[in-house]
Chains A and B, each alone.
Chain A
């Protein structure tokens, strides 16, 4: 079963939320299934591509060629050489010890291994702090603004949280306008500076406003930047510092958006951003194409950063909590 939004967030009085969900009527269940189907549908192409690779080769006997093809399939999914080598070596060893026999057992074990790798750290988002400050950063074009817009919409419309959205991307032309459109759709508070304004000051204003008005969540957008641009990374560190100065525990969540089409450079991105602003989770965006998003596995494996959210389309409901087991299954079944 795909993880639902209620599993993603840690909220005050979590006990009652659980009982509520236990007593949930059929309509809710149906909606849940609808979302699940949607995810599966979105990941269908990924699955098809990979399953032809694997099932064409992994039947019956496990030969040298099996491992080679399995390796290729994982590489093709952008899982990366190091993580692929680990997975294949593990399976190869288990097969040698005769713990695995036949293609099906191998497929099952593969899913299990991939799930283990994907499931690192705490993949939930704690909303109990008031206000909870969520900072979003990432390389240009990875979907920060869209992710924030959808998150604002969900927190406001579905969870009834009072949200302040901060337009910290003061660099890209019209980024502020783009986020403002989202703020209107989600009917949440909106804080902006002028084009070229200091994004740290926008973050400062947003938190001050949230505290004054008693908002529950502050979502802070930042300009896209390459992890190699030292001056822009320094600016990001400053944004984080300004936030921490106002609320010592904040930002409570620091999300990095990673485009699912990204190759091995995603590892560098995660590493550099993590060093700068201590990333607590990934948002794996654009999983609705044919890209496999395997770079998230490499990041989880090497840097122990969990994926928390995935983006599977343009629609509002296409931002979804990440489910490691479902993701691994979707990759290979």
Chain B
């Protein structure tokens, strides 16, 4: 339905490439794309307006002359500004110097408070805190039961008094009990309430007054539209929350609400809820959210994944081999295996910005890798080191051994030769045209 903003900007500014400078008209059409993309991502329209103005100013002042690709230049400006707007670094929950730390959860109906309460409880327990949760949602049928079950799954104590007591009284009682029982953290679940429901909002303020929480967290559904700002402002006015939990981030919503809430209220987003299971809960990374809104692919996640798998010693060895022209099929196989450890190829490609455009619609067949592996493993060590020396009879033997045909063996060897050439030129500091390479590979 929507292409990523990064792609759109590239397309809009593609024809500028030859000219080397951006005219005001170029920038205006780029701004229109940015505006549309952000609105489709549900970023609040006021925020969009301010944002495009800021980007425009920078783009106009930027020295584009000499840049290879003005499109990329603008994408970078947008990305920088977006990250800055999202708040840069990820932030932490504040703990009270005198336990228990009390966390009050608030939000609209169905935003995912009870689930978030369970997830946060589990998260904190995993990090070594003794945690209890308090069931103050006495309105929704069976909400207390839900928290009892979620609390049990999270392995924390559930303080509840059924549905007859008043929420304020339950909260006060739970706070006293958490203190008496020496808990590190008490998380208070409340019922969902509309920000325009003055009675229930007053109740929330009363709960706050009664227990004086260390942190107040607003749970916001990642799929929320333009209204997210109204909700955040109203909750902010009544209880002045400290941070936000974004729920349902595992869907395909762009999550513009996150940007809006941060931009308008200035409150940081602390956690992201990314799945149905209790352990699918993590600290929020503003920079990654900026990338997601831009549709630029989750570069950071890819880098982190690669880093965690990357073996420096091995890499140095490969570099040495490349220099000495000793890079053989065994090393190639090693490389492929390393890449495969990062995850399914299809999802890896999706994380690389720009690649989406090149390879959109291309279905990668993981079995293709198994086939290549079978061919390589059917070779002798000598053949793997010097595939260029493989002759006709050897090819036939390899094809039989791997259950493929001579054609496939030939093709593999040819592709490997090409790749080796490219890698050599890279190691010598020459950057090949990746786009052309990919088109050739197809």
Which residues from A are CB-within-8-Å of B256? 263
Chain B nearest Cβ from A308, distance in angstroms: 20
Q: Does A116 contact B (CB under 8 A)?
A: no
Q: Which of A82-137 contact B (CB under 8 A)?
A: none
Q: Does A249 contact B (CB under 8 A)?
A: no
At the interface with chain A, which of B23-31, B64-72, B143-151, B177-185? B143-151
Interchain CB contact under 8 A, A265 and B227? no
Which of A141, A259, A267, A294 counts the most chain B CB atoms within 10 A? A141
Interchain CB contact under 8 A, B149 and A173? yes
Q: Does B250 contact A (CB under 8 A)?
A: yes
**CB closest chain-A residue, reference B109:** A286
**CB closest chain-B residue, reference A142:** B110
Which residues from A are CB-within-8-Å of B250? 226, 228-229
Interchain CB contact under 8 A, A263 and B110? no
Interchain CB contact under 8 A, A81 and B40? yes
Q: Does A193 contact B (CB under 8 A)?
A: no
Chain A nearest Cβ from B47, distance in angstroms: 12
At the interface with chain B, which of A25-33, A71-79, A203-211, A320-328? A71-79
In whole angstroms, what is the CA distance A266 to B153 when docked? 31
Interchain CB contact under 8 A, B42 and A263? yes
Q: Does B303 contact A (CB under 8 A)?
A: no
Which residues from B are CB-within-8-Å of A78? 42, 225-227
Which of B143, B226, B228, B254 counts the most chain A CB atoms within 10 A? B226
In whole angstroms, what is the CA distance A78 to B1 when docked? 17
**CB closest chain-A residue, reference B118:** A173
Q: Does A288 contact B (CB under 8 A)?
A: yes
In whole angstroms, what is the CA distance A294 to B223 when docked? 14
**CB closest chain-A residue, reference B234:** A290
Which residues from A are CB-within-8-Å of B108? 261, 286, 289
Chain A nearest Cβ from B362, distance in angstroms: 20
Which residues from A are CB-within-8-Å of B251? 139, 226-228, 265
Chain B nearest Cβ from A305, distance in angstroms: 16
User: B226 contacts which of A76, A143, A175, A286 (Cβ < 8 Å)?
Assistant: A76
Q: Does A246 contact B (CB under 8 A)?
A: no
Chain A nearest Cβ from B275, distance in angstroms: 9
Interchain CB contact under 8 A, B39 and A226? no
In whole angstroms, what is the CA distance A293 to B16 when docked? 40
Which residues from A are CB-within-8-Å of B194? 286, 288-289
**CB closest chain-B residue, reference A271:** B1
Q: Does B257 contact A (CB under 8 A)?
A: yes
User: A261 contacts which of B141, B145, B196, B225 (Cβ < 8 Å)?
Assistant: B225
Interchain CB contact under 8 A, B146 and A263? no
In whole angstroms, what is the CA distance A203 to B218 when docked? 36
Chain A nearest Cβ from B107, distance in angstroms: 10
Which residues from B are CB-within-8-Å of A75? 39, 45, 226
Interface size range of chain A in the complex? 35 or more
Which of B143, B250, B251, B256 counts the most chain A CB atoms within 10 A? B251
In whole angstroms, what is the CA distance A55 to B284 when docked? 41
User: B225 contacts which of A45, A229, A264 (Cβ < 8 Å)?
Assistant: A264
Interchain CB contact under 8 A, B141 and A178? yes
Q: Does B213 contact A (CB under 8 A)?
A: no
Q: Which of B280-334 contact A (CB under 8 A)?
A: none
Chain B nearest Cβ from A333, distance in angstroms: 20
Which residues from A are CB-within-8-Å of B110? 140-143, 259, 286
Q: Which of B6-50 contact A (CB under 8 A)?
A: 36, 39-42, 45
Interchain CB contact under 8 A, A81 and B36? yes
Q: Does A273 contact B (CB under 8 A)?
A: no
In whole angstroms, what is the CA distance A150 to B350 when docked? 43
Interchain CB contact under 8 A, B45 and A72? yes
Q: Does A292 contact B (CB under 8 A)?
A: yes
Q: Does B160 contact A (CB under 8 A)?
A: no
Which residues from A are CB-within-8-Å of B196? 45, 288-290
Interchain CB contact under 8 A, B141 and A181? yes
User: B150 contacts which of A173, A286, A294 (Cβ < 8 Å)?
Assistant: A173
Which of B42, B110, B253 counts the most chain A CB atoms within 10 A? B110
**CB closest chain-A residue, reference B143:** A174
Also in contact, A263 and B149, with CB within 8 A (given A177-B141, A268-B252, A288-B194): no
Which residues from B are CB-within-8-Å of A262? 221, 223-225
**CB closest chain-B residue, reference A138:** B110
Q: Does B167 contact A (CB under 8 A)?
A: no
Q: Which of B179-221 contact A (CB under 8 A)?
A: 194-196, 221
User: B39 contacts which of A81, A182, A290, A314 (Cβ < 8 Å)?
Assistant: A81
Q: Which of A243-299 contact B (CB under 8 A)?
A: 259, 261-269, 271, 286, 288-292, 294-295
Q: Does A189 contact B (CB under 8 A)?
A: no
In whole angstroms, what is the CA distance A105 to B227 when docked? 28
In whole angstroms, what is the CA distance A228 to B223 when docked? 13
Interchain CB contact under 8 A, B39 and A173? no
Which residues from A are CB-within-8-Å of B140? 178
In whole angstroms, what is the CA distance A261 to B230 when docked? 11
In whole angstroms, what is the CA distance A255 to B195 when docked? 27
Chain B nearest Cβ from A116, distance in angstroms: 22
Which residues from A are CB-within-8-Å of B39? 75, 81, 264
Which of B221, B250, B256 counts the most chain A CB atoms within 10 A? B221
Q: Does A172 contact B (CB under 8 A)?
A: yes
Q: Does B111 contact A (CB under 8 A)?
A: yes
User: A77 contacts which of B144, B226, B248 (Cβ < 8 Å)?
Assistant: B226
Interface pairs A-B: 6 shortest CB-CB: A263-B225, A141-B110, A263-B42, A173-B149, A177-B142, A174-B146
Q: A residues within 8 Å of B by Cβ?
A: 45, 72, 75-78, 80-81, 139-143, 171-178, 180-182, 195, 226-229, 259, 261-269, 271, 286, 288-292, 294-295, 314
16 additional A-B pairs beyond A75-B45, A175-B146, A178-B142, beta carbons within 8 Å, are A75-B39, A81-B40, A139-B223, A140-B110, A142-B110, A174-B146, A181-B141, A226-B250, A228-B251, A228-B252, A259-B110, A261-B108, A261-B224, A265-B42, A289-B195, A292-B227
Query: What are 10 A-B pairs at a CB distance below 8 A?
Result: A45-B196, A72-B45, A78-B42, A141-B221, A173-B146, A174-B142, A174-B145, A181-B141, A288-B196, A289-B196
